Structure 1
Amino acid sequence: MSDLSLPDFLRARFEEEKVAAVATRDAGGEGAAGWVHDEENGALDFGLPNRTLYSTPIGTFAAELEHAARYDPDRILREVNAKLRIVEMCDATERAHRNSTAGDLARTVLDQLAAPYRSHPDYPGTAAR
């Protein structure tokens, strides 16, 4: 368990996701478009000529390729930025309205945002309020 507050823990996890997304996006080079599942060719298209992450016989692993295409780095960056705004709003609300319905709701939202990271060694748990 860590000494981090739950909002600080979430900020750190989201920063890690931003760094990974930027590195992946930048590896595509200038002019890279968003990731697209190219069903016609059975590939995950990075938006660059002659560059695919994974190519399969048409129809094979279509669901997996569609899922992977949803992790386009630009989309991940938008998602992380939205989550960071939620953390900021909830952190401010919880501090301003402790022991109230609004503060409790803000804490519940933070707890739910942290749920995917419960196995992380720095997870502060419910004790870090």
Structure 2
Amino acid sequence: MGIVEFLEARIAEDEAVARDAAKHHGQDGWHVNAVPHEGLIVWDSTDVPGHSTPTTVHLARHDPARILREVAAKRAILAQAREAEEYYAHMRGNGLPAAKAGGHVDALTVTLTHLASTYADHPDYDESWAL
């Protein structure tokens, strides 16, 4: 499995979890003890009404809506990487100057390794992708 396929699989998992959470609660926007509010209110057992804890702020900040925006952004980066690789291959295959395209491919490859590093605890993560 290459880094692109690895990322596609992890992004699809993130999307599925976010959509399931939103569906389960009927809301994709989560808030911390927000009144008035729209969406799910997040709290933990140490919460005092009207106040928040670092845990609740973190949970609300990573609500399904945000995860779905991150999914879209990561997929756009993967699409850019594919386009750059295809363009670079086209340029090289036709004997055209490809140094600039190669630079884009290199930069996007580094970007993909950064994205993959967030999934370093996954069993399919390849240590050769480590930064």
Calculate the TM-score normalised by the size of structure 1.
Answer: 0.74
Q: How many residues align?
A: 116
In 2, the alpha carbon distance for the partners of 1:84 and 1:112 equals 14
Match of 2:96 in 1: none
CA displacement at 1:14 relative to structure 2: 0.3
Q: Highest relative contact order (Cα 8 Å, sep 6+), 1 or 2? A: 1
1:124 is matched with 126
Code of the aligned partner of 1:14: I
Residue identity opposite 1:54 in structure 2? D
Amino acid in the other structure paired with 1:11: E
Q: What is the TM-score with the length of structure 2 in the denominator? A: 0.73
Q: Which amino acid aligns with 2:44?
A: Y
1:64 aligned to 2:55? Answer: yes
Q: Give the letter aligned to residue 84 of structure 2.
A: T
Distance in 2 (alpha carbons) for counterparts of 1:59 and 1:53: 10
Map 1:26-37 onto structure 2 (within 5 A). 26-29=23-26, 32=27, 34-37=29-32
Structure 1 residue 79 corresponds to structure 2 residue 70:
yes
- Which protein is bigger by CA-based radius of gyration? 2
CA shift for structure 1 position 17: 0.4
Which amino acid counterpart does residue 64 of structure 1 have in structure 2?
Answer: T
Q: Contact 1:117–1:123 at 8 Å: present in 2 too?
A: yes
CA contact (8 A) 1:94 1:103 kept: yes
The alpha-carbon distance between structure 1 residues 53 and 26, as it changes in their structure 2 partners (threshold 3 A), is farther
RMSD of aligned residue pairs (Cα, Å) = 2.7
Higher helix share: 2
Residue deviations 1:38-77 (CA, integer Å, cap 9, x gap): 267xxxx7725xx655351258762221111011111111
Task: Tell me how far 1:86 sits from its aligned partner.
Answer: 0.7
Contact persistence 1:14–1:80 (CA under 8 A): yes
* Unmatched runs of 5 consecutive residues or more in structure 2: 90-98
